[in-house]
Amino acid sequence: MMKSSSYDLCVIGAGMAGAMLSAVAARRGQKVLLVEAGPRFDFSQRLNQLKRKQLLGAPLWPWEDQRRDVYVDTSRDELGYVYTLNASRVKGVGGSTLHWGGMAQRLQLSDFETATRYGMGLDWPIGYEDLEPYYAWAEEEIGVSGDFSPADPPRSTPFPMPGFPMKYSEARWEPVAQKLGIRLDTVSHARNSQAYRGRSPCVAYSVCNLCPSGARYSAHFHVEEAERTGNCEVLTETVARRIETDADGRVVAVHASGLHGGEFEIRARHYAITAHAVESARLLLLSDVGNQSGQVGRNLMEHWYVAAGGWHDDRNYPDRIGFTTLETHSFYDGPERRDRGAIKVEFGGRRDPLTAAARRGIWGRKLAELDRAEFGHWLSVGAETEHQPNPDSRVTLDPEQRDQFGDPAPRLHFALTDVDRRTHQRAHEIVSTLLEARGAREIKTTVQYARGHHHMGTCRMSAKPEDGVVDRDCRVHATENLYVVGSSVYPTAGARQPTLTIAALALRLADQLTSPPA
């Protein structure tokens, strides 16, 4: 139950953005209420979750079934399959960082100004230089391990921890890179290469979506920190359903319902929506707030992965540490980007035939035979690609499907442009060339539109109200005290993992809403 009738800040969504914003505000003496639609998962149960996943085989997804998260997808004609939204999101304290891969990367300088540089997309109303101090702060808060790479944008501080050594299987790409004239880049991770802030260094469980050691960062760490200050309350399993505003565009209350009963009217000086890109847009649409220009829900973006694999005669011993340590940005920028989007290539992958065999229920002696014959021979390369902002790619309210409260479910429709198709075709050529140069045979391109699980856009940041939903400070246009922060405010997607930018944007908003320490 809520302990107060009014708060300095109400934060809706306990993922990366909400946790970071709440922790900083609470440290600075603000009275914070953090509202989360999902439950709180007990970290001490991680090993039990891991055993269930490994021994039972199913459900392979270790988090509880979230059947209340109904949605409708209409993308089959565009993508060739129905988009499985719930395969990639967890409702709970920590949000998607409960299971994320842990790559912590800054966007490139070019990603902030693609319209100016390449004539595509929409320039961000802030530049890299505006966000750089907050990137550095986010890396310190989270704990990021890395070594500076020529592919990285300029930075004012070193990484908090040294990077991880290159995996054996990935180091074998070096001769191929020399042959093809491409540069290999290291990867920065939100996982500890040494003990950091009371958390263990990585001990190579190789199941990073569970990480029983706590070495890989999860936003629930910052939620717990916020609570320890005594200034932050957390309402779990509580769904924000409507935002109430007055005639001047000022939010006067948020109305929420508990999953197991109970109604809440939340009053605060400031309100921040820090939910998933789909749910942030849905809440604004349900409330009829911020949509004067019809931009709420539009420009839904993903990082589509184009992956390929092939048989290699030598064993590569993949995934002994469970995460990627090597990539190349040689295809990210340059003249080609005037015709297609950015492409980042990641070496490694988990598409070994043994994984597929286990999912088909092959165990025991048969699996041991496959292990001896096939383990380590399957070589994979994946290309993370930029998805262009497109007003027809969007989230709307479905006219028929309802959630457990009777509210319209989110209706997703991903749309691709000709630029996106050219990007995917070029990515296919790149990954196939790399595998051929490595000596792989029987090369197969996996699902072209494999899900990157990075949902961006829908509440994009814009200099002009007619072009987006929030301004450069993440305040919803035409409102006084309502903010949206997270990947939903991205004007463009780039082709680097979005989570560190989410954290940086949240810290920037925290500075705007609270007084920095003297």
> pLDDT tens, 110-142?
999 999 999 999 999 999 999 999 999 999 999
Half-sphere exposure of 518 (CA within 13 A, CB side): 0
- DSSP, residue by residue, 132-151: HHHHHHHHHHHT-B----TT
As a whole number, the mean pLDDT across the chain is: 90
Average pLDDT over residues 172-185: 94
Residue 506's pLDDT is what? 98
What is the spatial distance between Cα 511 and Cα 230, in angstroms, rounded to a whole number? 20
- Residue 58, pLDDT > 50, answer no
Average pLDDT over residues 90-112: 94
- Least confident among 116-125, 155-164, 305-314, 404-413: 305-314
SS (H, E, C) 261-282: CCEEEECEEEEEECCCHHHHHH
The pTM assigned to this predicted structure is 0.95
**Band of pLDDT at residue 28, cut at 50, 70 and 90:** very high
Average pLDDT over residues 29-42: 95
- Residue 275, pLDDT > 90, answer yes
Q: How many Å from the N-terminal Cα to the C-terminal Cα in the chain?
A: 34
In the chain, pLDDT over 70 holds for what percent of residues? 92
Question: What six digits make up the tokens of 506?
Answer: 């949240």
- Residue 65, pLDDT > 60, answer no
- Higher-confidence residue of 205 and 226: namely 226
Residue 313's pLDDT is what? 87
Residue 40's pLDDT is what? 93
- Residue 107, pLDDT > 90, answer yes
Residue 229's pLDDT is what? 98
**Band of pLDDT at residue 80, cut at 50, 70 and 90:** confident
- Least confident among 200-214, 269-283, 495-509: 200-214
- Residue 60, pLDDT > 50, answer no
The winner for highest mean pLDDT among 245-249, 269-273, 376-380 is 269-273
Q: Where are the beta strands (DSSP E) in 246-393?
A: 251-258, 263-266, 268-273, 304-311, 326-328, 343-347, 378-385
* 3-state SS class at 3: coil
- Residue 448, pLDDT > 60, answer no
CB atoms within 10 A of CB 248: 9
Average pLDDT over residues 417-428: 94
- Least confident among 32-36, 387-391, 450-454: 450-454
User: Phi, psi at residue 27, to the nearest 5°?
Assistant: -60, -35
**Band of pLDDT at residue 245, cut at 50, 70 and 90:** very high
Q: Tell me the CA distances in angstroms from 355 to 86, 169, 306, 352, one per residue in order.
A: 21, 17, 19, 6
Average pLDDT over residues 477-484: 96
C-alpha dihedral, 49 to 51 to 55 to 56, nearest 10°: -20
In the chain, pLDDT over 90 holds for what percent of residues? 70
Average pLDDT over residues 347-370: 73
Residue 358's pLDDT is what? 66
- Cα–Cα–Cα angle for 82, 411, 253, rounded to 5 degrees: 145
- Residue 53, pLDDT > 80, answer no
Residue 352's pLDDT is what? 59
Residue 371's pLDDT is what? 78
* 3-state SS class at 437: helix
Residue 127's pLDDT is what? 97
